[in-house]
Amino acid sequence: MNETTNPKIVIAIDGHSSCGKSTVAKELAKALGYIYLDSGAMYRAVTLFALKNGLAANGQVNEPELIARLPEITIEFRLNPASRQNETYLNGENVEEEIRRLPVSTHVSPVATIREVREATVKQQQAMGKNKGIVMDGRDIGTAVFPEAELKIFMTASPEVRAQRRYDELIGKGQQVSFEEILHNVEERDRIDSGREVSPLRKADDALILDNSYLNRDEQLDWALQKAREVIRNLGVVNIE
Ligand code: CDP
């Protein structure tokens, strides 16, 4: 296999919360030698900034104040050499673990509806993808960030399956959560993400659907990798495996 010399493409993975987008995206990027970018981490980092600065609480966000303070926010991804994974930094501080906690999850969707927040993050995401060779996951990657992406995947699974996966993940990390609150959060984020005015979550017309309710990790990776290799092959390269 000689994939590093093949033309690089952009792979956009969108879909509902907690359906395993980041798992597929990370594994796909690793298999292809691509960069993985978690766009949701950027919305989560902005949300953490809001929470830490008293601009979000009890499900409410102080929009005008957050918009005014956006210039104070710097988000970066830095490679952790030990894990070989990118980690999210907010104003120089590693927040990778903190942004996955429930307080951020319960405020992130309202924050992500703010037009100015989206404009700033989308601009940064587009800059990160300009050289291609990237797998990005989120809600609007195939529709708004990279409408020209060579491969678009729309992932979904039932809310119960997704809540169970997220519950297992958080319990595994030692966090105190109940299945009911996770299910509620998953359903609430679906509702806000799909209903918002700016770049709502929707399947791009040319996206392929991956419902992984009954697929395991290896099966979903095989599926995605096969699609990616097909696209790369169709770009005119035969020497792919
Ligand atoms: O991991 P999970 O799919 O649950 O969520 P995430 O990718 O970390 O994204 C967190 C939240 O950020 C989503 O529920 C959306 O409200 C928002 N988001 C967005 O609006 N646009 C994106 N491209 C990515 C995330």
**pLDDT for 30-83, tens place per residue?**
999 999 999 999 999 999 999 999 999 999 999 999 999 999 999 999 999 998
CATH number at residue 160: 3.40.50.300
The ligand 1 atom nearest the CA atom of 140: 23
45 Cα–ligand 1 center, Å: 11
Q: How many CB atoms lie within 10 A of CB 231?
A: 16
Establish if 237 belongs to a structural domain. Answer: no
Q: Which residue has the higher pLDDT, 144 or 5?
A: 144
Q: How many domains does the chain have?
A: 1
* In the predicted structure, residue 145 carries a pLDDT above the cut 70: yes
233 Cα–ligand 1 center, Å: 31
The ligand 1 atom nearest the CA atom of 41: 8
Q: What type of residue is 123?
A: K
Q: What range does the domain containing 66 cover?
A: 10-230
Pocket of ligand 1 contains residue 40 by CB under 6 Å: yes
Establish if 89 belongs to a structural domain. Answer: yes
**pLDDT score of 1:** 43
Q: For residue 130, what pLDDT band results from cuts at 50, 70 and 90?
A: very high
235 Cα–ligand 1 center, Å: 31
How many residues does this entry show for the chain? 241
Q: How many CB atoms lie within 10 A of CB 160?
A: 13
Establish if 241 belongs to a structural domain. Answer: no
* pTM assigned to the model: 0.90
Q: Are 140 and 199 in contact (CB under 8 A)?
A: yes
Establish if 238 belongs to a structural domain. Answer: no
